Amino acid sequence: MALPITLIVDDPAPCLNIYWWHQARRSGTSAPEHRPGLPVARHIPLSFLDRFIDVVGRWGVRGKFTVLPYPAGLGPIDVGWPGCPAVELQPWIDRVRCYVMPLMDITPEILTHAQALDLDTLALLPENEREWSAHQDAATLTPYISLALQLLARVGLPATGVTSPWDFGIQVEGEYQTAIRQSMQSVQAQHQNWYFLHSDTRGTQLRSQVVWRQGDAWLVSLWAQVDDFCWATMGTPATEAGYVAAVADQYLTADGRGRLADLFAAGTPMVMVTHWQSLFADGRHTGLAVIDEVARRVAATWGEQVRWTSCSQLAAGVAAGEWDCPAH
């Protein structure tokens, strides 16, 4: 059986770079920088989505692609917000639906991936979603997740699972799991579900696991097990081939070493995580060039011994016990 390899892409949204909003809020400035002279880009243009589609399409990369339903609290994706004109918003959504969704599952990264949203007033709360989640329960988390799913469904991007912004829900994970199940059943009529919250980028034992099962219904917690080595590309202007190759080496060297090789040797599905801003690298596209090279090396090194796999497909395999993962 070919070993699954999966790419999780966190944080995409039309028009904007959610990382700019995080850094602007953290630093108290409207001109955040990674380091002096290296600004954080506020906008990620439609043309970058086209380049991403080209790379994943060329190699058949599968996994998960976030679409933020109410990014940075600016407005719902079915309506738009200032700074995101309809001439860019709708084509972005259309491209994701037509070219990304056939390869990659769509998930919300809850609603804003910024400050939490008051569902009654749609005003932003003082706490970010991570902080807010820590004192919620299933009764309050369910409508919050449900709204995220509903917004994506309205634009023709139905979700197959749920992604946590930061470590949303980790302090109340049992309640969070119940809320995910209730939301997915209510909005998507789906009873076999998965979510992404945890990472283990050091061990080689499969960490993805069934966390709830009843009859043929189940909930799988999918863990990332390969770090976002592309994150470093945001902190340097380097774009040359040697730099791209050096970052790619951390995933898989040309002679078959690296984190992916360690997991392959252990027979563990290779779940990679990266971020939209990591791939974009503030307009240099360095991270995307790294993933392009990694996908090329995967094909050259293993061929049909591995298969690119969506998160929902991987979750189904985990639920079926294909890799002897523990059930809870």
pLDDT in tens, 172-230: 999 999 999 999 999 999 999 999 999 999 999 999 999 999 999 999 999 999 999 99
DSSP 172: G
Any residues with CB less than 8 A from the CB of 203 and at least 6 apart, and which? 225
Any residues with CB less than 8 A from the CB of 103 and at least 6 apart, and which? 56, 57, 60, 61, 62, 63, 308, 310
Taking the CA of residue 84 as centre, how many other CA atoms within 13 Å lie in the half-sphere pointing to its CB?
A: 25
Spans of the chain, pLDDT less than 70 = 324-328
For position 325, what pLDDT does the model report? 47
Tokens of 6: 């999966």
For position 86, what pLDDT does the model report? 87
In the chain, beta strands by DSSP E: 3-10, 33-35, 38-39, 63-66, 104-107, 115-117, 124-128, 162-163, 192-199, 209-214, 217-224, 270-275, 306-308
For position 327, what pLDDT does the model report? 37
Which domains are present in the chain? 3-319 (3.20.20.370)
**8 A C-beta contact, residue 56 and residue 104:** yes
pLDDT in tens, 126-162: 999 999 999 999 999 999 999 999 999 999 999 999 9
Task: Give the global pTM.
Answer: 0.97
Tokens of 42: 């506020």
Class of residue 289 by CB neighbours under 10 A (exposed 0-12, middle 13-18, buried 19+): buried
**8 A C-beta contact, residue 191 and residue 217:** yes
For position 133, what pLDDT does the model report? 98
**8 A C-beta contact, residue 44 and residue 284:** no
Strands 3-10 and 63-66: parallel
Tokens of 239: 């774009």
